[in-house]
Amino acid sequence: MKEELQKRVIKGPDGVEFEVEPLRDYYCEAPPTVMPGAYIQIVEDLFNWARAESIWILGFGTGCGAIEMRPLMTPRFDAYRYGVQWRPTPRQANLLMISGYLSTKTLKRAIRSYEQMQSPKYVVGLGSCTINGGMYWDSYNTIKRLDDYLPVDLYIAGCMPRPEALLAGFQDMKKLIRAGKGEGANRYAENFDWYKANQKRVIHDWDMPDYSW
Amino acid sequence: MEFDWMKIPYALLTLFIVVNYGFLLNALIQKIAARVGRRYGIPIWQNYVDLIKNYGLRSSITHGAMFYLGPVFRLSGGVGLLLFVPAIYGSYMFSNLSFAGDLILALYFIFFGTLGMALGAGESGHPYAAIGVSRGLSQVTTSELPLALAVFSVALQYQTLSVTEIVAAQQGGILNWTLFTNPVAVAAAMLSFLGSMMRPPFDVVLAPQEIPIGPPTEYHSSYLALMQTNRAIFPVAKIVIYMNLFFGGASDWPTFFLKVFLIYLWSAFVGVVFPRFRVEQSIRWFLIWAVPLGILSILMV
Amino acid sequence: MVSALYILIAALGAAFFLGFLKDGMRATAYALTLAALVFMNFISAGWVWVFVVDGAAPVEILTSGFPPPFAINLRMGLTEAALTLLVNLSGLLSALYLKDVLLALGRRSMAVLLIAVMALCGIILTRDIFNLFVFFELAAIATAGLILLSEDKRALSAGFKYMIVAQAISVLLLIGIIFSYHATGTLNIDGMAEASTELKTGASIAFFLMFIAVVAELKPFPANGWALDIYESAHPAFSAIFSAASGAAFLFAADKLLHIGGAAWFPLATGIGIVTFVAANLLALPQTNDRRLLGYSSIAQTGLVLAVLGQQDILGDRYLFVAGGLLFAHSIAKAGLYWLSGLIAGRELPDWAALRSRPLLIFAFVTFIAMLSGLPPFPGFYAKWELARLLAGEGRIALLALILFGALLEAGYLFRWFGYIIKREQPAQRVACTPHKLAPVIAAVVAGWALGYLWGDLSGHANLLLAVPLLFALSFLLLEWLPAWIKNTLAIAGMVAFFVLTYAEYDPLRLIFSVIILIGGPIIFLASYHEHGRRIGFYPAAMLMYAGLTLLIRANDSFGFFAAWEMLTVGSYFLILRGKHSEPHALSYIIFSLGGAFMILAGFALAAQGAPQFDLASLSLLTQPLAPWVFILLALGFMTKTAAIGLHIWLPGAHGEAETDVSPMVSGILLKAGLFGLIVLLMTMGKQQLYGIELTHVLLWIGALSALLGNLMAIFEEDAKRLLAYSSIGQMGYAVFGLALMNHLGWLMALMFVINHYIYKSMLFLSAGGVAKRTGTRDMYRMGGLITLMPLSFIATLIGIIAVSGVPPLSGFGGRWIFYNAILSSDVRLPMVILFFAGPIAFLYLFRLIHTIFLGQLKDEHRKLKEAPFWIILPQMIFVVLLLVFAVAPGLALRRVDTYLNQFFPEGGLNWAGTTISSNYGYWNPVAIMITVCVIFGSLFAWLLFVNRKAQKVKQFNIVFAGERPYRPETTHFAWNFFAPYRKALGFMVQPFVTRFWSGLTDLLHAAADLSRRLYNGNGQTYAFHFIAFVVVVYFLWTGV
Amino acid sequence: MVYIAMATGFLLILIGFYGALTNRNLLRMIVAFSIADTGINLVIISVGYLPGRTAPILDTTVTAAAAAARIIDPVPQALVLTAIVIGVGVTALMLAYTLKLYEKKRTLDIAKFTELKW
Amino acid sequence: MTGKNMIKRLLALLLLASIGAMFASLLLAYVPDTDLNFTARYYAEHTAADIGAANIVTAIIVTYRGLDTLGEVTVLFLASGIVGLVLSFGRKQNTTLRNLVPVGELLTTASQYLAPIIMLLGVYVFVNGHLTPGGGFQGGAIIASGMLLLLLSDPLKRFSHTLIATVESFSGVGYIALGLVGLVLAGGFLDSRILPNGVLGELISAGAIPLIYSLIGLKVGAEFSSMLTSLSETEDL
């Protein structure tokens, strides 16, 4: 663990010494909870519609598929017309696009970014690498099944899938959301221990509280 | 104090109209900008959907009290700004709460939201937010200067600080507009306007990838929804001031919509044409190009 | 009364009689010596009593039974009595002080001391020129002997150098005397004076030689190297005599000679005197040896009195008052300081820090340097005032300027020294305090204060030592043994009581200031309750400042005003100096302030045109060509206090480094003194023109530039309190600008700023001070995230910055609104541009203040901090309430002022209908604004709370960090060099040009002084050269003129 | 006659001064000042001199009644005595100092006694 | 001669030339009086009657300008005191005596005979001060020269400091006492007319002048002796 995250004894300005434990003092340690929808179904339906029509993607290019996302912003494909936008910060994004294989190192960042998004939030796996490892099935440092680590809502198969496939995937995602099936965040919270165990199995230097708020 | 309580529903009505107009106007401008890039652009109602979605998000986090207050300040600033300025000239109904203060109140109230937002962003503890604020405040010191000079020039010209009286003085034909009676001031003000709309070339404050959108980088869910609402209100409210000061005001809603749209279009127009300035570049730009115009305008009055 | 002759007889008799005593009977000899000195003092004091109380006429004393000019006669008048008392008293006290030395050296040394004192008395008393020479030689020889009392072996060579010069002097003196005798046929001074001969023409070489020889004994520049060596190496007790008594006696001798020579020779005296005064003070700047420094100062003061002697033609019946005031202040203070120096082991100035263990001695030191610097309530102050008045009245402006310049230099090194005492590390050796060494010091202190009272009585103005506020402040000196909280309570009670008793006397304008001082002061004093212990020195200083401020607003005439000004300056200096690292800043504060005060003095003096009483209101009667110059001088003086740009460099350090509760006092309250001065000035003098330039227009530019540059400098400041201090420069710039607009609303705006600035700057300083107290640093970037730990401080800061920035609905907006209305009614345009620019810049530093301290990342070491102490928070909360009240109801304070201002600016007042305030141009309704904003804000806040009711509270590192996470708060808190882009764009504007200018100036002075003092190379022969050259050069200059 | 005495006196003074200013030896300086003292005494005396008159001592030739017309000015004579005595005193003092200074540094060069300066 | 020295001399010459110019103008402007000025005339006309001293200069010194003379005496007193002080300044108790070259027989013998005569002459001179060109100072100096002669003949000779000091003090205090008597009995301090004027030209005349002059003579002699002995004691070095 980084030295900065270890416990340390600090002397305050008044000369009194006390202990600082960064992981406890600087991070929120609460686990994720299951977030139910709106109490009134019609409201939840409205929200689901809105969620479907306003998909904000976290602009986090994780693998080689990231290159396929750029054309979506161009005049040729223009995903904006479907209510799809890219946000630079996970706080404001709803959809985490895992665009290709994930090395364990990137996985750590991807997990953090996912956890910092607000629910309901969705994960889309792009390309076969996210499904079963693809051509890197025996690689020593990529993960094979994204689903073991993050609650994937949708896979878009292909190596790599073309932008048109992505657009099609968005449409499917919208359907899922509108049908109220985009509950990956709650699944993650329910099976948090399982996911965390899986994650920690490949990420050996997990040096934060379990859930990154 | 006698207070006409009917002013409250009237003001709310104005607010309602402006919010909706603002949402649509924003989308329209975005669409126009997209069209310049040969894209189709977002649906015209996209901003409504985004708003509902953001309210509909189930989870949210908070960094502390000021984190709450930031968006509240922001939206209060927008709403207040709108309400302190008469929207429609000659209409009692849409004169809003302009009895509370004159032009100066409006000008200074612009900062209410800015300040609050900056504080909220600071509370998040995010360095990018602070960097964004640093850039934004740096830029605003010079970008507001030509406007201040132009306003002073106009106030000198009409010998009043009352918005209503300034508009009244511009009635009776397009040539009575400040645009024609005091073109230099208007030029200065319109350059300043570019700086305040967070559009290129003056949008380094929000640099989306470098400092993920700057101050609001930690904001989400309903916080963001509040700020989105403000994004609908605030530009319109601000443009209303420009419209009243320089473009003869509006005596009915269609004129209002048209003029606001056209003024807004000016910043969009410049924005799609020019690339981004660094902060010090924009500071220099305003000081070199816009401020002298402003000075000229107060000397010429 | 006993004849004055007995002074001489007693001393001589005792001196001769000592020979009868065996060497073993030293104690008896010492007792005899003391007895003789006491007797001499008794005679002098008796005569002083006779002249002062009974008003007797001067007495001629004949010797050998023949009338003058055939026999030598003496004269005892008031002057002689006072001077001999001074001489005898310093002799007696020095003898007391010298007890050990005299007992060790035996009867001879006592005899020499007695004869020295006798000779000096003789110089004073005699009316015969040759007799004067004899006493001169006696004094010189005795001096050469007394130098040997020192333990310093170098004294020997100093004595020899003195004798070389003394020889040369006596040669010239004798030639002068004999030829003067030849010319007049008499040796009697009065006879010579009456004989109308060419001595009086100014061309007489005989008189010139005589005069220059006497003057040479006054150590004129540059023929004074020997004197400095004596001062440095002699025993301090002797130096005390040499400085105080010898100086006085020789000055009186010079006066006698001028009596002979008449008015034609006055300019020569003045010229030599003033050159010496300025040069000696200049050369003193780089001195590090305490006694040599005092020597330079003695020489300078003597020079000043000599210059005054040369001005007796215009001083008229105030001649004695002025010359005496300066001389006595100098003598007593210098004697006291020399006596003090004997208690200090080390010879470097910082070694005097040893005094710190003895508050009484510090008080003594303060008394002495205040006397030397001519600060109230000491005689030098009254004398300086009269001198300036009369000089200016006669149009001798250059002389006045030189005197003030020299005085400023002197104050500079004296106060720098005081800074060393208070701030430098205490040396290992303690102060050696024995009763017989302490007694003279205390006697000097008592004498100083007594003379202060006396001169106050004689001044023809109100006696400062009878002013209630000053007495109240001084009474805290006696209460120093009490614990701080009792003194604090007393201070608060006293100020409030004074306000309650007097508030009816003020007009609305002064009422505002008096409320700020007498009610606002106590509110800040609440914060002082958190200090424990006795807090020695704080209350006298603070109360002195408040006394000065109170007297300032109560002053009606220029004298009272100036005296109050000096008092508040000094009081605040002591306050500022208390800060931990404030030594250099306090020094630059006092120098700028005194410089400003001297400008004010010059301005008033010029304005009065010699009239003894000058009402402030009479400023309005001044006409061209005088008026603009008076205006400039006064305005410059006042602007040193408001820290207008160019004169501002003292402020950031002074305010920043001051103690937590001092900063708000000096910022929130003290700065207003400058504004008050400007108000008085502009109220009476109005617009002035010089060479076609409108001076208020210049003020406008100064105000605007101060606002801009003050704000700009604030945004690049890392130190929270300094940031606030720079902000004060900006805020004062606004106020100056408002005043300079010279219209109704401009003034109203300035007053609004006065009130607002008091409230929010006090609040912010307290808040920042409280935080600094808890965090142990003032660097903002080392703080951060304190909002949860210090919420009340945060609220105060938040409210404060909203108010400062002028954002509605708080009261700052009112100021801005009035500002816009004010400039609309003015026909000046361009300076507004700068002010417009300055406005938004304020946001930058304000945001930075609150952000980097309270927001952002909390640091490891601050995790356990507590809220600032209750007593620091309490006044802040009061200020918050005040600010809110004032925001909603500005009319409470402004309405009456608005009406009051109608008498000066009938046009353009405000209209206070209901809750709406309207002007010719616009309107605002603070109540409506407040309600509207609160309603909108409240409902939105409620809505947000509702929709976010389930929000998860997270901690400081739970931020989006591009998939990473922060490690350390220090590296995550964006705070240092916060406005880097701004620095890139406009950093060139805050290059420290002004600081460089002033430091360049002081460096230049220092370098020049350091170079020039190489003149004194220590070689006695060179000193002889100096003397001869001095005579020659003066002669040629004199005859050439 | 008077002029010669006076001129001589002045010359002596100047010579004395020159010696004092140029000789670095303490003793020589003292001697130089003694010369100057002598010069001054000469000047004083010469000022009192009235041509063709006699010393101010009354005796049978100079009677008290005729004294005013016969004697020279007695005042400078009285003064010069004082001047001489004072000169002697100072010279003695300087000599004593010189002795002590020599004792301290074993030199008579005045340029060596410059430990006090600036 | 070094260049620096040269400059120094030139500078000295230049300065002294200027001083000389001042002196020269004094000299050239000097016009000897043809008649006594009023002060001198007063002395010439009134001394005999007022004071009774034949030597007008003495009358001036002792009576008219008595305060000056008191000052002179004090100067000497002071000088001798300070010489004593100076010489004891930083003095170590040093008793080892140097062996000096013995003085010649001639000097020793001559001084033994001459010294008393010289002293007698000194007494004569100051006692007759009011009659002849002489007086206390001259007499005192003569007495001191006798002392000097003795010291020359035997440099290691020690005079009693106590004796000298006593004479010093006695004459000094006596002088002042006489002055005080004048203040009480006659016209003022140092007024010599406390005794009858006597006949002009006689030894016992001119009031207290002979008395005063004797005291002065003693005093001066004692002071000079004191200085001489103090200086001679430094031969120990």
DSSP string, chain A: --GGGS-EEEE-TTS-EEEE-HHHHTS--PPP------SSHHHHHHHHHHHHH-EEEE----STTHHHHGGGGSTTT-GGGGTEEEESSGGG--EEEEES--BHHHHHHHHHHHHHSPSS-EEEEESTHHHH-GGGTT-SSB-S-GGGTS---EEE-SSSPPHHHHHHHHHHHHHHHHTT---HHHHHHHTHHHHHHHHHHH-TT--S-SS--
Chains E and B touch (3+ CB pairs under 8 A): no
Which 911-970 residues of chain C touch chain A by CB within 8 A?
A: 952-958, 960, 962-969
Write the DSSP string, C51-120.
IIII-PPPEEEEBTT--TTTS-EEEE-HHHHHHHHHHHHHHHHHHHHTHHHHHHH-HHHHHHHHHHHHHH
Q: Check residue E35 and give its pLDDT.
A: 81
Q: For residue A212, tell me if it sits in a domain.
A: no
Q: For residue B206, tell me if it sits in a domain.
A: yes
C969-1022 pLDDT, tens digit each:
888 888 888 888 888 888 888 888 888 998 999 999 999 998 988 888 888 888
pLDDT higher than threshold 70 for residue E89: no
3-class SS of residue B29: helix
Closest CA to A77 of A169, A177, A178: A169
Q: For residue C541, tell me if it sits in a domain.
A: yes
Q: What whole-number distance in Å separates Cα of residue C1009 and Cα of residue C409?
A: 11
Please compute the mean of the pLDDT values over residues C821-847 and round it to a whole number.
85
Asked if residue C242 lies in contact with residue C157, where contact means CB atoms within 8 angstroms, the answer is: no
Query: Which residues are CB-contacts of C936 (< 8 A; sequence separation ≥ 6)?
Result: B76, B79, B80, B83
Indicate the pLDDT class of residue C54, thresholds 50, 70 and 90: confident
**Domain that includes residue D22, residue range:** 2-57+66-112
Q: What CATH code is carried by the domain that includes residue A156?
A: 3.40.50.12280
Q: What is the pTM (predicted TM-score) of this model?
A: 0.91
Asked if residue C984 lies in contact with residue C995, where contact means CB atoms within 8 angstroms, the answer is: no
Closest Cβ opposite residue B39 in set A35, A78, A85: A78
pLDDT higher than threshold 50 for residue E237: no
Chain C touched by E107 (CB under 8 Å): no
Structural element, H or E, at residue B62: strand B61-62
Q: Cβ separation of B79 and C958 shorter than 8 Å? A: no
Backbone φ and ψ for C625, nearest 5 degrees, come out as -90, 5
Q: What whole-number distance in Å separates Cα of residue B40 and Cα of residue A75?
A: 7
Q: For residue A213, tell me if it sits in a domain.
A: no
Q: What whole-number distance in Å separates Cα of residue C347 and Cα of residue C232?
A: 9
Number of domains comprising chain A: 2
Number of domains comprising chain E: 1
Please compute the mean of the pLDDT values over residues C193-219 and round it to a whole number.
84
Asked if residue E133 lies in contact with residue D57, where contact means CB atoms within 8 angstroms, the answer is: yes
Q: What whole-number distance in Å separates Cα of residue C909 and Cα of residue C899?
A: 8
Number of cross-chain residue pairs from D and E with Cβ atoms under 8 Å apart:
152
Q: Check residue C876 and give its pLDDT.
A: 93
Residues of B within an 8 Å Cβ radius of A: 34, 37-43, 46, 49-50, 52-53, 55-61, 208-209, 212-213, 217-221, 224
Chains D and C touch (3+ CB pairs under 8 A): yes
Structure tokens at E192: 């010599």
DSSP label of B100? G
pLDDT higher than threshold 70 for residue B136: yes
Q: Check residue C442 and give its pLDDT.
A: 92
Q: What whole-number distance in Å separates Cα of residue A174 and Cα of residue A170?
A: 6
Half-sphere exposure of residue C540: CA atoms within 13 angstroms, side-chain side: 19
Backbone φ and ψ for C761, nearest 5 degrees, come out as -70, -35
Structure tokens at C737: 């600008």
Asked if residue B206 lies in contact with residue B198, where contact means CB atoms within 8 angstroms, the answer is: yes
Pick the last residue of a domain from C127, C159, C179: C127
Kindly report the average pLDDT of chain C as a whole number: 89
Closest Cβ opposite residue E15 in set C134, C144, C1032: C1032
C572-613 pLDDT, tens digit each:
999 999 888 888 899 999 999 999 999 999 999 988 888 888
Residue E18: is it exposed, middle or buried by C-beta count within 10 angstroms (0-12/13-18/19+)?
middle
Query: Which residues are CB-contacts of C644 (< 8 A; sequence separation ≥ 6)?
Result: C702, C703, C706, C729, C732, C733, C736
3-class SS of residue B219: coil
Which residues of chain C lie closer than 8 angstroms to A105, CB-CB? none
pLDDT higher than threshold 90 for residue A127: no
Q: For residue C341, tell me if it sits in a domain.
A: no
Structure tokens at C933: 């904003």
- Give a three-class secondary structure readout of C213-281: HHHHHCCCCCCCHHHHHHHHHCCHHHHHHHHHHHHHHHHHHHHHHHHHHCHHHHHHHHHHHHHHHHHHH
Closest CA to C1026 of C206, C228, C159: C228
Best of C774, C783, C790, C864 to mutate (most A CBs within 10 Å, chain A): C864
B44-99 pLDDT, tens digit each:
999 999 999 999 899 899 988 888 889 999 999 999 999 888 888 888 888 888 88
pLDDT higher than threshold 80 for residue D65: no
Which 172-211 residues of chain A touch chain C by CB within 8 A?
A: 208
Q: What whole-number distance in Å separates Cα of residue B126 and Cα of residue B217?
A: 8
Region of residue B160 (left: phi > 0; alpha: psi -120 to 50; beta: else): beta
**Is pLDDT larger for residue E136 or for residue B146?**
B146
Q: What whole-number distance in Å separates Cα of residue B18 and Cα of residue B238?
A: 12
Closest CA to C218 of C335, C139, C109: C139
Which residues of chain E lie closer than 8 angstroms to C119, CB-CB? 74
pLDDT higher than threshold 80 for residue C154: yes
Please compute the mean of the pLDDT values over residues D66-71 and round it to a whole number.
78
The percentage of chain A sitting over the pLDDT mark of 70, rounded to a whole number, equals: 100
Q: Cβ separation of C960 and A116 shorter than 8 Å? A: yes
> Taking the CB of residue C1040, how many other CB atoms lie within 10 A of it?
6
- What is the ipTM for the molecules in this complex? 0.86
Pick the last residue of a domain from C127, C146, C171: C127
Q: For residue B161, tell me if it sits in a domain.
A: yes
**Domain that includes residue B102, residue range:** 7-300
Q: For residue E222, tell me if it sits in a domain.
A: yes
pLDDT higher than threshold 50 for residue C453: yes
Q: For residue E17, tell me if it sits in a domain.
A: no
Structural element, H or E, at residue B61: strand B61-62
Asked if residue D74 lies in contact with residue E40, where contact means CB atoms within 8 angstroms, the answer is: yes
- Whose tokens are 């003070």? That residue is C281
Closest Cβ opposite residue B127 in set C801, C922, C974: C974
Q: Check residue E90 and give its pLDDT.
A: 59
Number of cross-chain residue pairs from C and E with Cβ atoms under 8 Å apart:
183
Indicate the pLDDT class of residue E97, thresholds 50, 70 and 90: low
Number of domains comprising chain D: 1
Pick the last residue of a domain from C884, C914, C937: C937
pLDDT higher than threshold 50 for residue C627: yes
Please compute the mean of the pLDDT values over residues B284-301 and round it to a whole number.
90
Q: Check residue E98 and give its pLDDT.
A: 57
Write the DSSP string, chain E.
--HHHHHHHHHHHHHHHHHHHHHHHHHHH----SS--HHHHHHHHHHHHHT--SBHHHIIIIIITHHHHHHHHHHHHHHHHHHHHHHHTT-----PPPPPPPPPHHHHHHHHHHHHHHHHHHHHHHHTTTTTT--HHHHHHHHHHHHHHHHHH-TT----HHHHHHHHHHHHHHHHHHHHHHHHHSSSBT-STTS---STTSSS-STTHHHHHHHHHHHHHHHHHHHHHHHHHGGG-
Q: For residue E39, tell me if it sits in a domain.
A: yes
Angle between helices C650-657 and C558-577 in degrees, nearest 10: 60
Strands C73-76 and C59-62 come out as antiparallel
Q: Cβ separation of C63 and E33 shorter than 8 Å? A: no
Structural element, H or E, at residue C918: strand C916-918
Number of domains comprising chain B: 1
**Domain that includes residue A180, residue range:** 41-202
Outline where B197-252 has alpha helix (H).
221-246
Closest CA to B86 of B20, B196, B21, B7: B7
* Amino acid letter, residue D34: S
**Domain that includes residue C120, residue range:** 1-127
Cis amide prior to C809 (ω within 30 degrees): yes
Best of E57, E64, E231, E235 to mutate (most D CBs within 10 Å, chain D): E57
Query: Which residues are CB-contacts of E34 (< 8 A; sequence separation ≥ 6)?
Result: D50
Structural element, H or E, at residue C1029: helix C1020-1040
DSSP label of C150? S
- Whose tokens are 């929270």? That residue is C720
Rounded to a whole number of angstroms, the CA Rg of chain A reads 19
Q: For residue D117, tell me if it sits in a domain.
A: no
pLDDT higher than threshold 80 for residue C783: yes
Q: Check residue E49 and give its pLDDT.
A: 76
| E neighbours by CB contacts (3+ pairs under 8 Å) | C, D
Q: What whole-number distance in Å separates Cα of residue C122 and Cα of residue C106?
A: 25
Q: Interior CA angle at B100 toward C829 and B9, to 5°? A: 140
pLDDT higher than threshold 90 for residue C892: no
Asked if residue C863 lies in contact with residue C512, where contact means CB atoms within 8 angstroms, the answer is: no
**Domain that includes residue E73, residue range:** 32-91+98-236
Q: Check residue E92 and give its pLDDT.
A: 53
* Amino acid letter, residue E138: Q
- Considering the domain architecture, whether residues A156 and A64 belong to the same structural domain is answered as yes
Chain C touched by E22 (CB under 8 Å): yes
Q: Cβ separation of C923 and B162 shorter than 8 Å? A: yes
Asked if residue D50 lies in contact with residue D77, where contact means CB atoms within 8 angstroms, the answer is: no
- Considering the domain architecture, whether residues A58 and A114 belong to the same structural domain is answered as yes
The count of residues in chain A is 213
Q: Cβ separation of E72 and D56 shorter than 8 Å? A: no
Q: For residue C293, tell me if it sits in a domain.
A: no
Nearest CA in chain C to E32: C182
- Considering the domain architecture, whether residues A10 and A57 belong to the same structural domain is answered as no
Closest Cβ opposite residue C836 in set B76, B133, B148: B148
C281-306 pLDDT, tens digit each:
999 998 899 999 999 999 999 999 99
pLDDT higher than threshold 80 for residue E155: no
Q: For residue A121, tell me if it sits in a domain.
A: yes
E167-196 pLDDT, tens digit each:
888 888 888 888 888 888 777 788 777 777
Q: Check residue C565 and give its pLDDT.
A: 92
Q: What whole-number distance in Å separates Cα of residue C124 and Cα of residue C132?
A: 8
Q: Cβ separation of E57 and D78 shorter than 8 Å? A: yes
Q: For residue A208, tell me if it sits in a domain.
A: no
Chain D touched by E61 (CB under 8 Å): yes
Please compute the mean of the pLDDT values over residues B3-30 and round it to a whole number.
90
Number of domains comprising chain C: 2
Nearest CA in chain C to D108: C157
